[in-house]
Structure 1
Amino acid sequence: MKKLIFLLAVVWFGLSAISNSVKANDYNTAVIGHIIQTKVNGGNVDTSVLEAELQKLTYNFATEMTFVLQKHLPNILEGIASEMRQNADKIYKCKLLEGGSYECKE
Protein backbone atom coordinates (compact mmCIF):
# COMPACT_ATOMS: atom_id res chain seq x y z
CA MET A 1 0.00 0.00 0.00
CA LYS A 2 2.86 2.38 0.84
CA LYS A 3 4.50 1.60 -2.49
CA LEU A 4 1.28 2.41 -4.34
CA ILE A 5 0.89 5.76 -2.55
CA PHE A 6 4.56 6.56 -3.19
CA LEU A 7 4.18 5.64 -6.87
CA LEU A 8 1.05 7.78 -7.22
CA ALA A 9 2.80 10.70 -5.52
CA VAL A 10 5.78 10.43 -7.88
CA VAL A 11 3.48 10.24 -10.91
CA TRP A 12 1.45 13.23 -9.66
CA PHE A 13 4.57 15.37 -9.11
CA GLY A 14 5.94 14.34 -12.49
CA LEU A 15 2.73 15.24 -14.29
CA SER A 16 2.52 18.53 -12.40
CA ALA A 17 6.03 19.46 -13.50
CA ILE A 18 5.27 18.57 -17.11
CA SER A 19 1.96 20.44 -17.14
CA ASN A 20 3.63 23.64 -15.90
CA SER A 21 6.10 23.57 -18.76
CA VAL A 22 3.31 22.89 -21.26
CA LYS A 23 1.40 26.01 -20.14
CA ALA A 24 3.93 28.27 -21.87
CA ASN A 25 2.29 30.44 -24.51
CA ASP A 26 3.56 31.42 -27.93
CA TYR A 27 4.26 35.00 -26.85
CA ASN A 28 7.79 34.23 -25.66
CA THR A 29 8.52 32.36 -28.88
CA ALA A 30 7.27 35.32 -30.90
CA VAL A 31 9.41 37.78 -28.93
CA ILE A 32 12.52 35.64 -29.35
CA GLY A 33 11.79 35.29 -33.07
CA HIS A 34 11.32 39.04 -33.35
CA ILE A 35 14.64 39.70 -31.59
CA ILE A 36 16.47 37.31 -33.91
CA GLN A 37 14.81 38.80 -37.00
CA THR A 38 15.60 42.37 -35.91
CA LYS A 39 19.21 41.46 -35.14
CA VAL A 40 19.61 39.83 -38.57
CA ASN A 41 18.09 42.88 -40.29
CA GLY A 42 20.47 45.16 -38.39
CA GLY A 43 17.85 47.05 -36.39
CA ASN A 44 18.01 48.13 -32.78
CA VAL A 45 16.53 45.30 -30.75
CA ASP A 46 15.94 47.26 -27.56
CA THR A 47 13.65 49.91 -29.02
CA SER A 48 11.69 47.52 -31.20
CA VAL A 49 11.01 45.15 -28.31
CA LEU A 50 10.13 48.08 -26.07
CA GLU A 51 7.69 49.40 -28.68
CA ALA A 52 6.06 45.98 -28.98
CA GLU A 53 5.74 45.69 -25.20
CA LEU A 54 4.23 49.18 -24.97
CA GLN A 55 1.74 48.33 -27.70
CA LYS A 56 0.75 45.18 -25.83
CA LEU A 57 0.38 47.07 -22.54
CA THR A 58 -1.62 49.82 -24.24
CA TYR A 59 -3.97 47.29 -25.78
CA ASN A 60 -4.44 45.50 -22.44
CA PHE A 61 -5.04 48.82 -20.66
CA ALA A 62 -7.57 49.97 -23.27
CA THR A 63 -9.43 46.67 -23.06
CA GLU A 64 -9.48 46.79 -19.28
CA MET A 65 -10.69 50.41 -19.24
CA THR A 66 -13.48 49.50 -21.65
CA PHE A 67 -14.75 46.91 -19.18
CA VAL A 68 -14.46 49.37 -16.27
CA LEU A 69 -16.37 52.05 -18.19
CA GLN A 70 -19.02 49.54 -19.18
CA LYS A 71 -19.41 48.51 -15.54
CA HIS A 72 -19.56 52.06 -14.12
CA LEU A 73 -21.26 53.89 -16.99
CA PRO A 74 -24.66 54.21 -15.27
CA ASN A 75 -23.04 55.93 -12.28
CA ILE A 76 -21.02 58.24 -14.53
CA LEU A 77 -24.07 59.17 -16.58
CA GLU A 78 -26.11 59.75 -13.43
CA GLY A 79 -23.45 62.17 -12.13
CA ILE A 80 -23.37 64.06 -15.44
CA ALA A 81 -27.17 64.27 -15.52
CA SER A 82 -27.23 65.56 -11.94
CA GLU A 83 -24.67 68.25 -12.76
CA MET A 84 -26.66 69.32 -15.82
CA ARG A 85 -29.84 69.57 -13.71
CA GLN A 86 -28.04 71.72 -11.14
CA ASN A 87 -26.75 74.06 -13.84
CA ALA A 88 -30.21 74.32 -15.39
CA ASP A 89 -31.74 75.06 -11.97
CA LYS A 90 -29.16 77.78 -11.35
CA ILE A 91 -29.82 79.41 -14.73
CA TYR A 92 -33.59 79.23 -14.16
CA LYS A 93 -33.25 80.74 -10.67
CA CYS A 94 -31.13 83.61 -12.04
CA LYS A 95 -33.72 84.28 -14.75
CA LEU A 96 -36.49 84.42 -12.15
CA LEU A 97 -34.53 86.80 -9.91
CA GLU A 98 -33.36 88.98 -12.80
CA GLY A 99 -35.70 91.96 -12.37
CA GLY A 100 -36.34 91.72 -8.63
CA SER A 101 -34.75 93.13 -5.54
CA TYR A 102 -32.57 90.04 -5.04
CA GLU A 103 -29.60 89.51 -7.31
CA CYS A 104 -28.47 86.13 -8.55
CA LYS A 105 -25.27 84.99 -6.85
CA GLU A 106 -23.26 82.46 -8.77
Structure 2
Amino acid sequence: MNLKRWGALGTAAVSLAGAMVVTGGTTAAHADTRCDWSWIYINDSPGGDPKEAARGHSHNTGNHYISYSSWSDYYQKYAWYWESDNDGGSDGDTYDTYYSWNLCDHPAW
Protein backbone atom coordinates (compact mmCIF):
# COMPACT_ATOMS: atom_id res chain seq x y z
CA MET A 1 0.00 0.00 0.00
CA ASN A 2 2.80 2.44 0.86
CA LEU A 3 4.53 1.75 -2.45
CA LYS A 4 1.35 2.70 -4.33
CA ARG A 5 1.07 5.95 -2.37
CA TRP A 6 4.69 6.92 -3.04
CA GLY A 7 4.24 6.09 -6.70
CA ALA A 8 1.14 8.29 -6.91
CA LEU A 9 2.93 11.13 -5.12
CA GLY A 10 5.89 10.86 -7.49
CA THR A 11 3.59 10.98 -10.51
CA ALA A 12 1.78 14.02 -9.11
CA ALA A 13 5.10 15.80 -8.44
CA VAL A 14 6.29 15.18 -12.01
CA SER A 15 2.97 16.45 -13.40
CA LEU A 16 3.12 19.56 -11.25
CA ALA A 17 6.72 20.27 -12.27
CA GLY A 18 5.75 19.93 -15.93
CA ALA A 19 2.85 22.33 -15.47
CA MET A 20 5.14 24.84 -13.77
CA VAL A 21 7.58 24.73 -16.70
CA VAL A 22 4.78 25.29 -19.22
CA THR A 23 3.24 28.08 -17.16
CA GLY A 24 6.64 29.71 -16.62
CA GLY A 25 7.27 29.80 -20.36
CA THR A 26 3.87 31.30 -21.02
CA THR A 27 4.27 33.87 -18.28
CA ALA A 28 7.73 34.85 -19.52
CA ALA A 29 6.40 35.51 -23.03
CA HIS A 30 3.37 37.36 -21.66
CA ALA A 31 5.42 39.67 -19.41
CA ASP A 32 7.46 41.11 -22.25
CA THR A 33 8.63 44.69 -21.67
CA ARG A 34 11.85 44.60 -23.67
CA CYS A 35 13.41 47.84 -24.83
CA ASP A 36 12.20 47.71 -28.42
CA TRP A 37 8.88 47.85 -30.19
CA SER A 38 7.19 47.43 -33.54
CA TRP A 39 4.01 48.95 -34.94
CA ILE A 40 0.93 47.01 -33.85
CA TYR A 41 -2.82 47.66 -34.02
CA ILE A 42 -4.87 48.03 -30.86
CA ASN A 43 -8.65 48.25 -30.43
CA ASP A 44 -9.27 46.17 -33.55
CA SER A 45 -12.35 44.21 -32.44
CA PRO A 46 -15.84 45.25 -33.57
CA GLY A 47 -17.70 47.47 -31.14
CA GLY A 48 -14.59 48.78 -29.41
CA ASP A 49 -12.64 52.00 -29.65
CA PRO A 50 -11.43 53.01 -33.11
CA LYS A 51 -8.60 50.84 -34.39
CA GLU A 52 -5.25 52.62 -34.14
CA ALA A 53 -1.55 51.98 -34.62
CA ALA A 54 0.60 51.84 -31.48
CA ARG A 55 4.21 51.15 -30.56
CA GLY A 56 4.42 47.80 -28.78
CA HIS A 57 4.28 44.01 -29.09
CA SER A 58 1.59 41.54 -30.07
CA HIS A 59 1.36 38.25 -28.17
CA ASN A 60 -0.96 35.27 -28.19
CA THR A 61 -2.28 36.57 -24.88
CA GLY A 62 -2.90 40.11 -26.14
CA ASN A 63 -1.24 43.36 -27.10
CA HIS A 64 0.98 45.54 -24.95
CA TYR A 65 1.95 49.03 -26.02
CA ILE A 66 4.06 51.90 -24.72
CA SER A 67 1.88 54.68 -23.35
CA TYR A 68 4.81 57.01 -22.73
CA SER A 69 8.46 57.14 -21.75
CA SER A 70 10.42 59.59 -19.65
CA TRP A 71 13.93 60.18 -18.38
CA SER A 72 14.59 59.01 -14.83
CA ASP A 73 17.18 61.11 -12.99
CA TYR A 74 17.23 58.52 -10.22
CA TYR A 75 18.09 55.56 -12.49
CA GLN A 76 19.85 57.60 -15.20
CA LYS A 77 17.86 55.70 -17.82
CA TYR A 78 14.63 56.05 -19.76
CA ALA A 79 11.53 54.54 -18.17
CA TRP A 80 9.11 52.97 -20.65
CA TYR A 81 5.55 52.58 -19.38
CA TRP A 82 3.50 49.76 -20.91
CA GLU A 83 -0.29 49.38 -21.14
CA SER A 84 -2.44 46.31 -21.86
CA ASP A 85 -4.84 46.62 -24.77
CA ASN A 86 -8.00 45.32 -23.15
CA ASP A 87 -9.81 44.76 -26.40
CA GLY A 88 -13.08 43.11 -25.44
CA GLY A 89 -13.87 41.31 -28.69
CA SER A 90 -17.49 41.24 -29.87
CA ASP A 91 -18.78 42.81 -26.63
CA GLY A 92 -16.77 45.99 -27.18
CA ASP A 93 -13.63 47.45 -25.71
CA THR A 94 -12.82 47.91 -22.04
CA TYR A 95 -10.46 50.54 -20.71
CA ASP A 96 -6.80 49.77 -21.23
CA THR A 97 -4.85 49.27 -18.03
CA TYR A 98 -1.33 49.82 -16.77
CA TYR A 99 0.80 46.74 -17.42
CA SER A 100 4.42 47.29 -16.39
CA TRP A 101 7.49 49.43 -16.89
CA ASN A 102 11.12 48.90 -17.79
CA LEU A 103 14.35 50.91 -17.75
CA CYS A 104 16.04 51.34 -21.13
CA ASP A 105 19.21 53.00 -22.44
CA HIS A 106 17.34 54.98 -25.10
CA PRO A 107 14.00 56.79 -25.41
CA ALA A 108 11.03 54.90 -26.82
CA TRP A 109 10.84 57.29 -29.83
Q: TM-score range with shorter-chain normalisation?
A: 0.3 to 0.5
TM-score by length of 2: 0.34
TM-score, normalization: structure 1? 0.35
Higher relative contact order (CA closer than 8 Å, sequence separation 6+):
2
Structure ranking higher in helix proportion: 1
Name the structure with the higher strand share: 2
